[in-house]
């Protein structure tokens, strides 16, 4: 993926209708104020492209508590020592110097949604507040505690490493402490969750690491809350049944009821494990809180039953809340039953561009384009030298319920593919793809 101009992106993504659709009022006297919350793949990309395509028409402020974004993408390779943290650390300097994005290092603590006026205010942890004409929220995910004895779960003792950074380094240290005959127990959250192939990929790289350390009697137990493997069933079936046969034990339909971090114990509907060497409990997920945990909907204007924010895929707007947009893992995009839009960095990047285009059109009094396409790609290392991949493409149109009846408009999955085989070429391609996505989002 390369940095390219708006018209080329619109054409490549199939969302160009006419040159007339490009904004006309670049350099308007008072730039519109766009505040972006969260500097991950969604937030960084929307901030960059608003400025790249909108120029002086928009003043963009990105609010993010961390000095750098540590990408989850490739982070499983940091666990095994194949990559360093530096390799997945992405800074904000290029957004500032190349595009003129104002970056404030702070957390958003509360949002005034403007009572339907479309103009509101966000409050920051540093005591400041920012007024906005459009607000784009891309804060990612947070975690749902197990239902029984939730206070016994402590992610600082049994890390999920599903947000990269300190959690990744803690899990790396715990993995390095494993000896022969030890067990690494991990969970796969209930769908929808961040990066569908990610947990299975982690099981593979952990098993590969143990094998290369000649810990041949160590075991990886994968407790899946779902009925079956959620992504790349061919590649992971091959990995679990052949490459790591006897080392990885895969258990579907394992609903977690409690986790006691101090004793590294877990109770599920498929059995209980106690005092394991490493417990990598990856909890069920929902949109990250955007206000105090005690506030209604944890600060969100609207949430679906699964705890994500329903959006219009033409604008990523929230129904009834003009000028509020939600992109990335936090949003729920309407799709055909069983063909959900995946929560991935690649998809967050694509959604960000559609959202930037829609905001610029709105500022020029234009309707959003309806000729929209988005896509996702995930590369999954299987061994220290091989990988698989998954790709999915979506286009705006009718979407269907489980009985095949049209249920409305949304993003229809037009194809889904996984690598024909696990290979060394895929492993090399993984770095080319990741570097392209990192650059397109942050540079």
Ligand X SMILES: Cc1cc2nc3c(=O)[nH]c(=O)nc-3n(C[C@H](O)[C@H](O)[C@H](O)COP(=O)(O)OP(=O)(O)OC[C@H]3O[C@@H](n4cnc5c(N)ncnc54)[C@H](O)[C@@H]3O)c2cc1C
Residues within the interface to ligand X (CB under 6 A): 37-43, 63-66, 69, 72-73, 75-76, 107-108, 138-140, 162, 194-195, 198, 288, 290, 328-330, 343-346, 348, 378-379
Distance CA 307, CA 144 (A): 10
CB of residue 157 to ligand X, shortest distance in Å:
19
Distance CA 140, CA 209 (A): 29
CB of residue 344 to ligand X, shortest distance in Å:
3
CB of residue 27 to ligand X, shortest distance in Å:
29
Nearer to ligand X, 134 or 194 (CB): 194
- Residue 237's contacts (CB-CB under 8 Å, 6 or more residues apart) are 229
CB of residue 122 to ligand X, shortest distance in Å:
8
Residue 384: DSSP 8-state: S
CB of residue 76 to ligand X, shortest distance in Å:
5
Nearer to ligand X, 41 or 442 (CB): 41
CB of residue 284 to ligand X, shortest distance in Å:
14
Where does 154-232 have alpha helices with state H? Answer: 166-176, 198-212
Residues 303-312: b if buried by 16+ CB within 10 A, e if exposed: beeebbbebb
Residues 218, 223, 229, 232, CA torsion sign: negative
265-268/271-273 β-pairing:
antiparallel
**Measured between alpha carbons, how far is residue 16 from residues 347, 379, 397 in Å?**
19, 28, 16
- Which tokens in the block code for residue 229? 């493997």
Distance CA 227, CA 36 (A): 37
Nearer to ligand X, 135 or 378 (CB): 378
Distance CA 252, CA 243 (A): 19
DSSP SS3 for 191: coil
Classify the phi-psi angles of 213: left when phi > 0, otherwise alpha if psi is within -120 to 50, otherwise beta.
Answer: alpha
Nearer to ligand X, 68 or 238 (CB): 68
Distance CA 93, CA 101 (A): 9
Nearer to ligand X, 76 or 426 (CB): 76
DSSP-assigned beta bridge partners for residue 317: 312, 325
Nearer to ligand X, 56 or 417 (CB): 417
Distance CA 412, CA 394 (A): 5
Distance CA 380, CA 434 (A): 11
DSSP SS3 for 144: coil
CB of residue 149 to ligand X, shortest distance in Å:
26
CB of residue 309 to ligand X, shortest distance in Å:
11
CB of residue 86 to ligand X, shortest distance in Å:
17
Distance CA 335, CA 47 (A): 26
Nearer to ligand X, 23 or 40 (CB): 40
Closest residue to ligand X using C-beta atoms:
40
Please provide the DSSP assignment of 84-99 as one string: -GGGGEEESHHHHHHH
Nearer to ligand X, 288 or 399 (CB): 288
Nearer to ligand X, 38 or 307 (CB): 38
- Residue 263's contacts (CB-CB under 8 Å, 6 or more residues apart) are 274, 275
CB of residue 165 to ligand X, shortest distance in Å:
9
Nearer to ligand X, 10 or 79 (CB): 79
């Amino acid at each position: 993926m390369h940095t390219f101009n708006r018209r080329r992106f619109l054409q490549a993504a199939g969302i160009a209708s006419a040159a007339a659709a490009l904004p006309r009022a670049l350099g308007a006297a008072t730039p519109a104020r766009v505040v972006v919350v969260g500097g991950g793949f969604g937030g960084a990309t929307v901030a960059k492209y608003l400025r790249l395509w909108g120029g002086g028409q928009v003043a963009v402020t990105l609010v993010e508590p961390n000095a750098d974004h540590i990408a989850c993408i490739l982070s499983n390779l940091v666990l095994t020592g194949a990559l360093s943290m530096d390799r997945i650390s992405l800074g904000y300097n290029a957004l500032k110097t190349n595009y003129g994005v104002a970056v404030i290092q702070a957390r958003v603590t509360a949002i005034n949604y403007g009572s339907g006026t479309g103009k509101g205010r966000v409050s920051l942890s540093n005591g400041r507040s920012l007024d906005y004409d459009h607000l784009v929220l891309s804060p990612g995910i947070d975690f749902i505690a197990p239902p029984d004895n939730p206070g016994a779960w402590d992610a600082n003792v049994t890390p999920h490493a599903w947000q990269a950074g300190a959690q990744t380094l803690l899990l790396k240290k715990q993995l390095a402490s494993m000896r022969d005959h030890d067990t690494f127990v991990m969970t796969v959250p209930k769908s929808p969750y961040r990066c569908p192939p990610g947990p299975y990929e982690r099981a593979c790289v952990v098993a590969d690491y143990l094998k290369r350390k000649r810990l041949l009697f160590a075991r990886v137990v994968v407790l899946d809350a779902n009925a079956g493997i959620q992504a790349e069933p061919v590649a992971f079936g091959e990995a679990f049944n052949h490459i790591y046969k006897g080392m990885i034990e895969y258990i579907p339909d394992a609903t977690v009821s409690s986790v006691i971090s101090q004793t590294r114990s877990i109770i599920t509907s498929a059995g209980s494990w106690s005092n394991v060497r490493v417990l990598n409990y990856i909890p069920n997920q929902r949109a990250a809180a955007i206000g105090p945990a005690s506030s209604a909907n944890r600060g969100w204007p609207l949430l679906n039953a699964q705890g994500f924010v329903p959006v219009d895929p033409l604008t990523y707007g929230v129904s009834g809340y003009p000028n509020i947009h939600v992109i990335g893992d936090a949003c729920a995009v309407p799709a055909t039953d069983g063909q959900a839009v995946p929560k991935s960095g690649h998809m967050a990047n694509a959604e960000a561009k559609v959202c930037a285009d829609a905001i610029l059109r709105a500022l020029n009094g234009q309707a959003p384009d309806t000729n929209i396409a988005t896509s996702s790609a995930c590369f999954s290392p299987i061994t220290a030298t091989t990988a698989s991949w998954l790709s999915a493409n979506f286009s705006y149109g009718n979407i269907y319920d489980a009985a095949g009846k049209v249920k409305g408009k949304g993003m229809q999955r037009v194809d889904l593919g996984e690598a024909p085989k696990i290979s060394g070429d895929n492993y090399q391609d993984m770095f080319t793809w990741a570097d392209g996505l990192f650059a397109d989002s942050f540079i």
